[in-house]
Structure 1
Amino acid sequence: MKSVNLMEKFGQVNGYWRPHLVAEANGQHVRLAKLKNEFVWHSHEQEDELFIVIKGTLTVHFRDRDEIVKEGELLVIPKGVEHMPEAQDEVLLVNITKAETTHTGDTQSDMTVKIDEMPRL
């Protein structure tokens, strides 16, 4: 048991849309990522996804609307809901999801980081 300084860990995150594992609890991954520009449309058929915005403003596009998530806010995306995150400026994000969940969900793209290749902080 040791506390984790999130801002220090964000300083070690390389690249955008590339999650880094910072902690694990109860079969969940706590991942840090820096975001900028558009991601890919995807969904997670078997699990919800939790986004916590530490810095910046994140727009999450859904097929029927957009949701703005500001610094200090969180958003839970229910399983099976297709979405595409976008950040006009850099966003620092904490993502909490099941350990076996790939950040691009059911979509494979050149942005997909395999779980076993995810950097650990």
Structure 2
Amino acid sequence: MTEVVSPAQIAASLTEYWSPKVVAELDDSYVKVAKVLGTLVWHHHEFEDELFYILKGSLTIEMEDRTVVLQQGDSFVVPKGVRHNPIAAEECHIMLIERKSTLHTGDEKTEKTRSLAEQLTPLASF
């Protein structure tokens, strides 16, 4: 993955909500994009931090001790071990930076959970 990519363009082209796609990798981390709407699930990543960057729209991240609201251009790191629940009241496009070991929904499994193989599915060229 040593090509120029447009995370915003790729996120806009996605057809499935809450289904992140890997668009780049660096060292032991993946850069992913997703189109989201509604609620994902309460979960945590025991050993990994998770960076959210808002490409378009607004995202609320509920945590047990507070809630943050992110707008386009904002970023926020959910620290490892913190239970969180991302929510998009309207369609939102996000970029994530996560260690390669990060499971999509942690130990929680729902119909929205995507495996790493699904997240690595090749994308159309941009």
TM-score, normalising length: structure 2? 0.90
> Which residue matches 1:42?
43
Q: Percent identity?
A: 37
> Which residue matches 2:52?
51
**Aligned counterparts of 1:83 and 1:57: Cα–Cα separation in 2:** 16
Unaligned runs of at least 5 residues, structure 2:
none
**Aligned counterparts of 1:13 and 1:78: Cα–Cα separation in 2:** 27
Aligned counterparts, 1:3-82, within 5 A: 3-82=4-83
Question: Deviations 1:17-75 (Å, cap 9, x if unpaired)?
Answer: 00011111111111100010111000000100000001011000011221001110000
**Aligned counterparts of 2:8 and 2:50: Cα–Cα separation in 1:** 22
| CA-atom RMSD in angstroms | 1.2
Unaligned runs of at least 5 residues, structure 1:
none
Letter paired with 2:79: P
Shift of 1:13: 1.6
- Runs of 4+ aligned residues of structure 1 deviating over 4 Å after TM superposition are none
TM-score, normalising length: structure 1? 0.93
> Which residue matches 1:120?
122
Shift of 1:92: 0.5
**Aligned counterparts of 1:91 and 1:42: Cα–Cα separation in 2:** 19
| Paired residues, number | 121
